[in-house]
Amino acid sequence: MKFLQDITLGRYIPGDSVVHRADPRIKFTAVVISILLILSATRLWYLVIIGLFFIMIIKMAGLPLRYLLKGVKPFLWLFLCGGIFHLFFTPGRAIGQFNMGLLNITYEGLISGLMVSLRLFLLIIVSSVLTLTTSPLHLVKGMESIFSPLKKIGVPIGNISWMILMSIRFIPVLIVEAERVIKAQTARGRDLDKGNIIRKIRNLIPLLIPIFVRVLRRVNELAYTKLI
């Protein structure tokens, strides 16, 4: 269960780089635009250019690239499932000897699978860069400032901003609580990392209830503190 320690989404690394000091409203707007560009890209090289641009941003922010890539590791299964599905089920010209009737590996499927996997990869990287370089409080204040005109039509921007802040902050909390439960199970002699992928998934099921109980307890404590 070491993959929980690798998740970077929702974490914040303090710094004094140009990216860290940038206005959170600008960063949030830039990320939204980047996400729209990633989702609307129709050519593989469009995504490659966006990826190179964010590598430059990562270097400017002083973030370790290895750390970011390590944070993507828990989502590899998602990239593989999306890529493989498109690889086999996209109609087109079969590649060489890979003509297997209904399950053809086609050139179009290969490109489509690469684009889907790269899209998912870039979406996680872009979101991680935003949270790693912006404190949750500044991020929420920036979003509240952007959407402040909606207050005129009765949209509760303050409540929505608070909800977003808590959602961001509870990603690391969820990871910490999960690690505590896993350590407690390991101390009782249970090896959660043993076996194949199917067994590892089964090992996760008994952990869900105690993890959610701990998280809900933290939520109640936070709500009680806010009321006081």
In a domain, 147, yes or no: no
What are the pLDDT tens digits along the chain (228 aa)? 555 555 666 678 888 899 999 998 899 899 989 999 999 988 888 999 999 999 999 999 998 888 888 777 777 777 777 777 777 777 767 666 555 555 667 777 788 888 888 888 898 888 888 888 988 788 888 888 888 888 888 888 777 777 777 776 666 666 666 777 777 767 766 666 565 656 666 666 666 777 777 767 766 666 555 544
Question: How many other CB atoms are there within 10 angstroms of residue 90's CB atom?
Answer: 18
Q: Please indicate, yes or no, whether residues 163 and 218 belong to a single structural domain of this protein.
A: yes
* Residue pLDDT, tens place only, 105-132: 777 778 888 888 888 889 888 888 888 8
| Domain total of the chain | 2
- Which structure tokens are listed for 28? 């949030």
Record the pTM.
Answer: 0.70
Q: Please indicate, yes or no, whether residues 54 and 123 belong to a single structural domain of this protein.
A: yes
Q: How far apart are CA 144 and CA 161, in angstroms?
A: 6
Question: How many other CB atoms are there within 10 angstroms of residue 130's CB atom?
Answer: 21
In a domain, 214, yes or no: yes
- CA distances for 47 relative to 57, 170, 206, 215, angstroms: 15, 30, 39, 37
Q: Please indicate, yes or no, whether residues 130 and 162 belong to a single structural domain of this protein.
A: no
Residue 12 has a pLDDT of 80
Q: Please indicate, yes or no, whether residues 55 and 163 belong to a single structural domain of this protein.
A: no
Q: Please indicate, yes or no, whether residues 161 and 195 belong to a single structural domain of this protein.
A: yes
Q: Please indicate, yes or no, whether residues 13 and 95 belong to a single structural domain of this protein.
A: yes
Q: Please indicate, yes or no, whether residues 119 and 196 belong to a single structural domain of this protein.
A: no
Q: What range does the domain containing 191 cover?
A: 156-228
In a domain, 31, yes or no: yes
Looking at this protein, which amino acid is placed at residue 122?
A: L
In a domain, 46, yes or no: yes
